[in-house]
Chain A
Amino acid sequence: QQPVQSPQAVILREGEDAVINCSSSKALYSVHWYRQKHGEAPVFLMILLKGGEQKGHEKISASFNEKKQQSSLYLTASQLSYSGTYFCGTEVKTSGSRLTFGEGTQLTVNP
């Protein structure tokens, strides 16, 4: 039931854009996005609850395609502070409050 994330790693120069994808084989109730810096706990970015819903957080936004069980995280005009590992977490409709995470996408932003 673990969602699948792609790509596994991304290297950007400051100011460039990136897209991280998350997909599930099960019907989803919600999609969460978190960012984790090395040696720290994951930090919440946003949650998407409805199909087609898009949320934004600074220059980071996300979309949720409920029909395809997919979500994408968009990082625009990347900053050095965006470096870290991004995780999507999904809650499947048939499994109650069980949040499972993908393997993460390591994002590196260089000057």
Chain B
Amino acid sequence: NAGVTQTPKFQVLKTGQSMTLQCAQDMNHNSMYWYRQDPGMGLRLIYYSASEGTTDKGEVPNGYNVSRLNKREFSLRLESAAPSQTSVYFCASSGDGRMNTEAFFGQGTRLTVV
């Protein structure tokens, strides 16, 4: 039982390059989330998907796009990476449409934009 799997674990991009962070969960969860974590800033919500086919903006959506490909997968895309997007990105999933159950986190993607 893998839980929440993120790929890649590490990535270095040049300013202006694009990339997609992948996230998949095998717990049949409805809700999925993308957070970024910067030192001293806690976890900030980028986008979330309460159910398959829906996505909503979080606190810091600018510069990102998401796709809820199916119930299992939720990807995060950086169209034109900027140094300010250097961060650790976490994907999370939760059982139902409200966050009233435990959220499971992936191991994170450490992204550096130079």
A101/B43 in contact, CB under 8 A: yes
A42/B98 in contact, CB under 8 A: no
Q: Which one of B40, B50, B102, B104 has the greatest number of beta carbons of chain A within 10 Å? A: B102
Q: CB < 8 Å: which of A41, A43, A100 contacts B59?
A: A100
Using C-beta atoms within 8 Å of the partner chain, give the interface range for chain B. Answer: 20 to 34
Q: CB < 8 Å: which of B42, B44, B45, B105 contacts A98?
A: B45
Known contacts A98-B45, A100-B45: A91-B98 contact under CB 8 Å = yes
Q: A16-53 toward B: CB 8 Å interface, digit per residue (1/0)?
A: 00000000000001101010000011111001010000
B103/A32 in contact, CB under 8 A: yes
Number of A-B contacts (CB under 8 A): 74
Known contacts A87-B42, A97-B31, A98-B56: A47-B100 contact under CB 8 Å = yes
Q: Across the interface, which residues of A come within 8 angstroms of B74, CB to CB?
A: none
Report the Cα distance A42→B102, complex, angstroms. 11
Known contacts A49-B100, A87-B43: A100-B31 contact under CB 8 Å = no
Among A86-111, those with CB < 8 Å from B are 87, 89, 91, 96-104
Q: Which one of A40, A44, A102 has the greatest number of beta carbons of chain B within 10 Å? A: A44
Question: Is B63 part of the binding interface, using a Cβ–Cβ cutoff of 8 Å?
Answer: no
Question: Is B114 part of the binding interface, using a Cβ–Cβ cutoff of 8 Å?
Answer: no
Residues of A in contact with B (beta carbons under 8 Å apart): 1-2, 29-30, 32, 34, 40-44, 47, 49, 87, 89, 91, 96-104
Which 10 A-B pairs have CB atoms at the shortest separation, nearest pair first?
A103-B42, A41-B105, A101-B43, A44-B102, A99-B99, A97-B50, A91-B99, A104-B42, A101-B42, A97-B99
18 A-B residue pairs with CB within 8 Å? A2-B44, A2-B59, A29-B99, A32-B99, A41-B90, A42-B43, A42-B105, A44-B102, A44-B103, A91-B100, A96-B56, A97-B50, A97-B98, A98-B48, A98-B56, A99-B103, A100-B59, A101-B45
Given contacts A42-B90, A99-B94, A101-B44, 6 further A-B contacts (CB under 8 A): A32-B99, A47-B100, A91-B98, A100-B44, A100-B59, A103-B40
